[in-house]
Amino acid sequence: MPALSNKKHERVAQFLANGKSAAESYALVYGKGPGAAVSANRLLKNANFAKRLEELKPQAQAHQESIVAKVVDEELRTRVGRAEVLIERRNVLRQIVAERAAFEDHQDVPGGKTGFVLTTRKAVGRTMVVKEHAIDLALLKELREIERQIASELGQVEDKSDVTHRFTSLREVPAEILEQWRAEAAAAKAQAAPSVH
């Protein structure tokens, strides 16, 4: 069915199809007034209007689902991209650890073969140089922080302080919950689809 000939009725139908109430849709087009709800209900009883509304609902739902899917996909790509950058940074630090572990001066030092030992040379007097070995706490801390960030980006960290699980942004929703929502939406869509006889 083509768009309704009355442009205002068409706009009301579009608002309704996108989830607004009848009174709200009518008021958005015609303005708020004491008779908006009554007029909206009268419009709903119009056969052409009802037919057009039923035609618009699946289109509006598909459009809304595609917008949500795009937002979810972008968020997932963003999360995965950040996680990939962090993983690469972690790999660089692990390479430093591996090279230190193979360093000849570390072979006889307790813990030297782990790669987490840092060797410095210190001058004692004018002619003597002494090697000092210490655990590289800064490197360990950085690795731990990167690993925590990777887990967070991949949705593997729970915030124990937030027991309500209320999200104020789509960016806060863990990936597995987004996937669950996507699956539920697909199932609901499949159930709502009219059966063909």
β-pair partners for 128: 124
41-91 residue pLDDT tens:
888 888 888 888 888 888 877 777 888 778 777 776 787 888 888 888 999
Q: Residue 138: which pLDDT band, with cuts at 50, 70 and 90?
A: very high
Measure CA 167 to chain center. 11
Q: What is the 3-state secondary structure (H, E, C) of 112-144?
A: HHHCCEEEEEEEECCCEEEEEEEECHHHHHHHH
The Cα 174–Cα 59 span in angstroms is 29
Report which listed range, 70-74, 102-106, 114-118, is most confident: 114-118
Res. 143 pLDDT band, cuts 50 70 90: very high
Query: Highest-confidence range of 70-74, 150-154, 187-191, by mean pLDDT?
Result: 150-154
